[in-house]
Amino acid sequence: MRRRQKFSRFFAAARSRAGAALLVVLGFVVLLAMLTIGILKNAQREILWQAEGYARPQLEIAACTALESALAVIANFQNIDGAVYAPQQGWNDALALAGFEYVPAENAWRFDDKTLISVSFFDESSRFPINKLSESELTNLFIALGISDSDAANLSACFADWIDSDDNARTNGAEIDDYEGFDAEYIPPNRELSDLREIRHIKHFREVFFEEDDRPNALFRQLESAVSLIASSGKPNVNTASDAALDVLCYETDVNENALRDYRSPQEHFGASGGIFRNANDLSRAGAESLANKVSFAVRTLRITATARRGTASFVLETCVEIASSRGGSNSTPFTLIERKENIRRE
C-alpha cells in the first residue's frame, strides 16, 4: 500500500515537472516565433526601402517626363492662343494630349509597365499676392473680408512693417520696440512671408485670425483662399480667381460675382469647358466691365505637381513657374522656374 502511494507521489511529481518543462518549452517557442516575425518584418522593410531606393531614379525620370510633357503642352497653347488663360483651354488634360494612356482605375496615366504618372495644376495668380500688395491694397482686402476700417488700417501697417527692410515704424504700425512684452520670441524679420501662419506673430493679427489656442479661425481660412505667397502681380486672374478673391474684387462694385462664376461654368456653355475671359470686352458679357482695371486675364504663376508611382513608392515633384506674356520665338520657352521641391514617399 505504502509502495503504491510512494509511486503515485513520484509519478505526480514527474507529471508536474513535465508540465512545467512543457510550459517553458512552449514559452521559448512563442518567444522564438515573435523574434522570427520581427526579423522577417524588419527584413521586409529593408527590402522595401532598398527597392524604393532602387526605384527612385526611375520614378524621378517619370515625374520629370510628366512635368516636361505638361509644360510642352501648355507652351503649345501659349503659342497658339497667345496666352495661358485657364485650364478650360484644354491643358488640364496635358498628359492625354501628350499621348499617354489613361488608366481609369488608377486615375493616372501609364508611363511604362510598372509606373503611373499624373499632374495637377494650381494658378497662384488666381489670388492676391500678399507680399506684393501696397498698404492701401492690403487695407482694402481686409475691409472686404469684413474687418472694420480702423482695424484693417492697423493690420496693414503692422504687416508692412513686418516685411519691409527697415526698422522705422509706420503710423499705427509696429517695429522691434513695439514687440517688447508682446511676443519676445518673434520680432519683425524684415522679409516677405514664407508661411501664411507666420502672421500670428504680427501685432494685432493673432486676435483677429486665430483662436485662443492658436488654431486658425474662419477668417484666416478666408484670407488663405484669397492670397498667395508667391504670385507676382496684384491683379488676380479673373478666369481662375478663388471665391474669396472674387468676393474681394467685387466688393463695393455693382458686379455680381455669381455672374462671373456662371460665365466660367461648363454648364453655362454647354460643353466640357466653360467660358474664358480674354479681355475687357468679355467682362462686359458678364456685366463686369467695371473690373477691367482690377483683374488680369492670364496665368502668370503656375504651380505644377507631377507624381510618379510604382508599387508602394511614389516620387513627387512640385514646381512653380512664371509664364511670360508671349513667346519670343519658336525656340524660346515661356517659363521661368521660381520654385522646385521634391520628395519620395510610401503610400
70 vs 327, which has greater pLDDT?
70
Locus of grid cell 502681380: 233
Nearest-CA neighbor of 312 among 113, 51, 62? 51
User: How far is Cα 207 from Cα 200, in angstroms, rounded to an integer?
Assistant: 8
CA dihedral 30, 35, 37, 43 (to 10 degrees): -170
For 245-262, how does the pLDDT look when each residue is reduced to its tens digit (9 = 90+)? Answer: 998 899 878 898 899 998
User: DSSP readout, 176-231?
Assistant: GGGGTTT-TT----SS--SSGGGGGGSTTHHHHHB-TTS-B-HHHHHHHHHEESS-
CA distances (Å), 79 to each of 86, 183, 198, 296, in order? Answer: 14, 52, 39, 19
User: How far is Cα 347 from Cα 341, in angstroms, rounded to an integer?
Assistant: 18
User: Looking at this protein, which amino acid is placed at residue 202?
Assistant: I
For 79-124, how does the pLDDT look when each residue is reduced to its tens digit (9 = 90+)? Answer: 999 999 999 899 999 999 999 999 999 999 999 999 999 999 999 9
CA dihedral 280, 288, 230, 160 (to 10 degrees): 120
Predicted confidence (pLDDT) at residue 2 exceeds the cutoff of 60: no
Q: How many C-alpha atoms does 74 have within 13 Å on its Cβ side?
A: 31
For 198-253, how does the pLDDT look when each residue is reduced to its tens digit (9 = 90+)? Answer: 999 999 999 999 999 999 999 999 999 999 998 777 789 999 998 889 988 998 78
Q: Are 236 and 296 in contact (CB under 8 A)?
A: yes
Cβ of 89: how many Cβ atoms within 10 Å?
A: 18
C-alpha cell at 122: 494650381
pLDDT band at 347 (very low <50, low <70, confident <90, very high): very low
Predicted confidence (pLDDT) at residue 45 exceeds the cutoff of 90: no
Whole-number pLDDT of residue 119: 97
Nearest-CA neighbor of 261 among 287, 290, 293? 287
Predicted confidence (pLDDT) at residue 263 exceeds the cutoff of 70: yes
Q: Are 202 and 158 in contact (CB under 8 A)?
A: yes
Q: pLDDT above 90 covers what percent of the chain?
A: 59
Whole-number pLDDT of residue 159: 96
Nearest-CA neighbor of 88 among 123, 63, 116, 117? 123
Domain made up of 130-228: CATH architecture: Orthogonal Bundle (1.10)
Domain ranges of the chain: 130-228
Nearest-CA neighbor of 225 among 236, 213, 239, 210? 236
User: Looking at this protein, which amino acid is placed at residue 119?
Assistant: V
Q: Specify which of 34-38, 193-197, 271-275 reaches the highest per-range mean pLDDT.
A: 193-197
